[in-house]
Structure 1
């Protein structure tokens, strides 16, 4: 089915926000021009019954009022940069600090807050959207005019591919990701603590009390952070571990055993035993931020009319590491003129 467009609403300044609908391989995907937001993603369960497995809202006003990045494209820099600053080639840049003095997900008006240009396409048996946005030199404090194209593809098998590309006219830093909140039982079905998660990572990056990495890559063995074998998300989430106290649960970057790769490699599996729905994630990225929805506080009601509370959804954000611009030992996020930033993540759905 060729992607279709409808008016979703208008921003306060009158700018139109459109909703694009795609369907392929038994999966239905709805995307907003605002923030590249995944507004809904319907997947069948083991009996073939579809349900929306992503948290989101029915109105533009709800998205602009919420500050939890529901379903959004995140940039220029996903995750945190300490004290809202970094130094590159001897020059220090001060960023928009929107998280206790740190810069989070690109600052107060990151990529999740802008309206993207959207071009639909059909390629053989696949359908998709190309989203483009040029971030001006100095926007949120980041150097360089950054031209970004993000491609959403829904394949005939029902896989959802996200391909990122960006170029710059000045040296800068880039770390793009997607902030979908997953609940494979359905977005209004309650806690995800019974979901089973596995991560192909034997290390993670501990954080301080402001959730900035300490610079260490610690072993997961013997800690609540060991998901090398599938276990329930809630199995150890209330354990009195210092790192769980810092994040009010899981809100950490896992160091993927595969490292950076030219092509996506499977690194995570999430399964809801009740519905049988399973999500497998493959990526080129060296890290994955697992966030267990700790800051959902009951102040937002979703598409199903249910108020979202702590643990009602979780995020699996493929990425480079947080605060990499200030950590020479972490994989570099520097992008220079003449080079192209590329990243790819594949979401594969099934039911068993």
Structure 2
């Protein structure tokens, strides 16, 4: 295992640090303390060629000017909060809007663009980057001073584990995730339309025209949302299903998980990503709305160039009592973990 540290840029007088963890088998993970962003993950294909398998940039300016949450820590609440408001114990909390009338991914000043404290630790068979941040009471409208720690741990099994821990001095809501866009072709040689996703999920959440969950669970049987036996992304992209069309031609939907295990396979490169989470749902987003006005490490950005597996509680759970709760009691410890393990097939 090895860790290197360098300067990625400067923002408002703060030096932005970059870390790269490399294991003994050719896998490496790079991240920066701006947004806790994972800037690169390099893994071998079936021929042993080591290439980057996520979307990201080489400069801080590109992340600030163009990034649709590439690789970032998302909080305090992932997804959309309807009407940018919620009620706890009779008190209405008004959040800052950044998606029409709604708040998306914690607001414009969310965790994806704060500067986190960071440090690195190396062991014999794993290495860890720890990010920590204290979100003040009222930040983006959320109650409570929230102390957050996120760990990125790479081991010699080609597994990246992301663990989250938080505690608040007031009752609040929290729903953290990571927003990495995966493309297993390697160095963005192809889009993700031929990527096959498998997950044990019997129901997905219906969305309204503003992409807010309606509260209805729809059974996946006989729909493009049935990934139980595996399905290529292009089936949903080319589908005329109302929910696929609504999302911009593809997926931007929460799936309720029967188990916390999912896989993504790119048969051309032989790369397989196995995901394991303790969260009750995942939002599958297939970059349907990825802009085309910038380049990603020399490759023209376009729709369906990556896919996200945002493990979390369902978005807008605070407005749906039958959804898993995202309420965090005062001094209660929030703790969750998702791992991403790479194989070849």
Q: TM-score scaled by structure 1?
A: 0.96
Question: How far apart are 1:191 and its partner, in Å?
Answer: 1.1
Q: Which moved more, 1:120-129 or 1:44-53?
A: 120-129
Helix, strand or coil for the counterpart of 2:273?
Answer: strand
- Asked if the contact 1:2/1:121 (under 8 Å) is kept, the reply is no
Question: How far apart are 1:123 and its partner, in Å?
Answer: 3.3
Rounded Cα–Cα distance in structure 1 between residues aligned with 2:66 and 2:318: 28
Rounded Cα–Cα distance in structure 2 between residues aligned with 1:89 and 1:99: 26
Question: How far apart are 1:124 and its partner, in Å?
Answer: 3.8
Rounded Cα–Cα distance in structure 2 between residues aligned with 1:328 and 1:192: 35
For residue 303 of structure 2, what is the aligned residue in structure 1? Answer: 310
Alignment of 1:291-310 (within 5 A): 291-303=285-297, 305-310=298-303
Helix, strand or coil for the counterpart of 1:234?
Answer: helix
Question: How far apart are 1:187 and its partner, in Å?
Answer: 3.5
Question: How far apart are 1:67 and its partner, in Å?
Answer: 4.4
Helix, strand or coil for the counterpart of 1:215?
Answer: strand
For residue 78 of structure 2, what is the aligned residue in structure 1? Answer: 78
Give yes or no for the alignment of 1:273 onto 2:267: yes
Alignment of 1:229-244 (within 5 A): 229-244=229-244
Rounded Cα–Cα distance in structure 2 between residues aligned with 1:231 and 1:213: 23
Question: How far apart are 1:128 and its partner, in Å?
Answer: 1.0
Question: How far apart are 1:288 and its partner, in Å?
Answer: 0.3
- Post-superposition CA distance 1:130-169 (Å, at most 9, x none): 1100100000000000000001100111100000000000
Alignment of 1:181-330 (within 5 A): 181-248=181-248, 249-258=250-259, 265-266=260-261, 268-303=262-297, 305-330=298-323
Rounded Cα–Cα distance in structure 2 between residues aligned with 1:156 and 1:238: 39
For residue 104 of structure 1, what is the aligned residue in structure 2? Answer: 104
Rounded Cα–Cα distance in structure 2 between residues aligned with 1:124 and 1:44: 21
Note the residue ranges of structure 1 that are not aligned, 5 or more in a row. 259-264
TM-align CA RMSD: 1.0
Matched residue count: 343
Q: TM-score scaled by structure 2?
A: 0.97
Note the residue ranges of structure 2 that are not aligned, 5 or more in a row. none
For residue 14 of structure 2, what is the aligned residue in structure 1? Answer: 15
